[in-house]
Amino acid sequence: MRIRPVLVFDGDCGFCTSSVRFIERVVRPRCEAVPWQRADLAALGVTRERARHEALWVTPTGRVYGGAQAVAKLLLSAGGAWTLAGAFLTLPPLRWAAHAVYRLVANNRRHLPGGPAGCTLPADRTRRA
């Protein structure tokens, strides 16, 4: 059993990778951040299709949260004022708004700085067999 939650994100997406690195520096969530391309998805209980669709928060017990709720969980894990922000994102109607904003950004990330076409992991760092 894992001790820390795992944040699974798209390592081929410059926007996603930059966002995760920023979150690690500023928010400091208590988790391990792993690109889905290098993660053992089966061990995490996650399909490749779901990992490609949205960021995922996998708890040590194996519960999986996706998209805006993954963001809420990582904020909750960070403590301090971030906990309040994360808690708000779990409550309707903010939960619904967060979902809509997450989908809008996720569906258009290729148009954002560092979008997926611009940065691919080197072949030796792509997904494990």
pLDDT tens column, 94-121: 999 999 999 999 999 888 886 555 444 4
Do you find a cis peptide bond into 93, omega within 30 degrees of 0? yes
- Does residue 6 contact residue 38 with C-beta atoms inside 8 Å? no
What does the domain layout of the chain look like in residue ranges? 6-119
User: What is residue 116's predicted lDDT score, i.e. its pLDDT?
Assistant: 54
Average pLDDT score, the chain: 89
User: What is residue 28's predicted lDDT score, i.e. its pLDDT?
Assistant: 97
- The answer to whether residue 122 scores a pLDDT higher than 50 is no
Average pLDDT over residues 78-102: 97
Contacts of 21 (CB under 8 A, 6+ apart): none
Percent of the chain residues past pLDDT 70, beyond the cut: 87
Return the minimum-mean-pLDDT range out of 25-34, 38-47, 119-128: 119-128
- Does residue 73 contact residue 63 with C-beta atoms inside 8 Å? no
> What pTM, to 2 d.p., does this model score?
0.85
The C-alpha atoms of residue 14 and residue 77 are separated, in whole angstroms, by: 24
